[in-house]
């Protein structure tokens, strides 16, 4: 019997930039700098998209939402998450659970975790208890430890809807 579940993982990193809002998991975090990027540079949502797409064998975020496409300039990255969830649903997949880690020396992310979990659960069409968000530092090591940017890692479990017909 073939199990109809898959796991995907994603990673993203962006440098800090002046004059931008800091958005993580669809939540604005008060900070003097945001992240540089073509879209809103939400590393958490980008890592999550890569994990979702990878689990379904659909390449990566850059293939679906390239930074060379002007329609995505300044885009809200929660839109990318919703589009990935919709694409997976068209193929018969739904999200089981997600586990995301934000890696940042600054700012402190923990106070915003409940809001991020709530927002991500809405986007992923799951209950909040199926979304885990945690934060860590690099103990001042490397570019993140030097406060040059923020990274995120995501792991997702997806399951094939029982009634979905596949070919091959």
Kindly report whether the global pTM for this prediction surpasses the value 0.75.
yes
Query: Percent of the chain at pLDDT above 70?
Result: 96
CATH at 107:
3.30.1330.50
Residue 167 lies in a domain: no
127 annotated to bind ligand: no
14 annotated as a binding-site residue: yes
The yes-or-no verdict on residue 168 having pLDDT over 60 is no
Domain residues for the domain of 140 are 4-160
> Would you say residue 81 lies in a domain?
yes
Tens-digit pLDDT profile for residues 84-143: 999 999 999 999 999 999 999 999 999 999 999 999 999 999 999 999 999 999 999 999
Model pLDDT, residue 164: 66
Q: With respect to residue 168, please indicate whether it lies within any of the assigned structural domains.
A: no
31 labelled ligand-binding: no
In 42-73, which positions are buried (b, 16+ CB within 10 angstroms) versus exposed (e)? bbbbbbbbbbbbbbbebeebeebbeeeeeebe
pLDDT tens column, 33-44: 999 999 999 999
The answer to whether the annotation marks 46 as part of a ligand binding site is yes
In a domain, 69, yes or no: yes
Asked whether residue 114 is domain-assigned, the answer is: yes
Confirm whether 134 is domain-assigned: yes
Instruction: Name the domain count of the chain.
Output: 1
Q: Is the pLDDT of residue 150 over 90?
A: yes
**What is the predicted pLDDT for the residue at 161?**
78
Cα–Cα dist 20/32, whole Å: 8
In a domain, 107, yes or no: yes
The model's pLDDT over 71-93, given as tens digits with 9 standing for 90+, comes to 889 899 999 999 999 999 999 99
Yes or no: say if 24 and 42 are a contact pair by the CB < 8 Å rule. yes
- The answer to whether 12 and 46 are in contact (CB under 8 A) is yes
136 is in an annotated binding site: yes
CA-CA distance, 128 to 132, in Å (whole number)?
8
Read off the DSSP letter of residue 105.
S
Judge whether 166 is annotated as a binding position: no
**Residue 103: inside a domain, yes or no?**
yes
């Amino acid at each position: 019997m073939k199990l109809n579940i898959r796991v995907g993982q994603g990673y993203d990193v962006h440098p800090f930039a002046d004059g931008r809002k800091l958005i993580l998991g669809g939540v604005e975090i008060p900070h003097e700098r945001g992240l540089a990027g073509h879209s809103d540079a939400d590393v958490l949502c980008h890592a999550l998209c890569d994990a979702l797409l990878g689990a379904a064998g659909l390449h990566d975020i850059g293939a679906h939402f390239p930074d060379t496409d002007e329609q995505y300039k300044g885009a809200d990255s929660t839109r990318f998450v919703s589009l990935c969830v919709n694409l997976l649903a068209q193929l018969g997949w739904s999200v089981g659970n997600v586990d995301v880690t934000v890696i940042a020396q600054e700012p402190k992310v923990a106070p915003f975790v409940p809001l991020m979990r709530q927002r991500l659960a809405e986007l992923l069409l799951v209950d909040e208890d199926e979304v885990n968000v945690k934060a860590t530092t690099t103990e001042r090591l490397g570019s993140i430890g030097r406060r040059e940017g923020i990274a995120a890692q995501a792991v997702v479990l997806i399951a094939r809807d029982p009634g979905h017909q596949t070919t091959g």
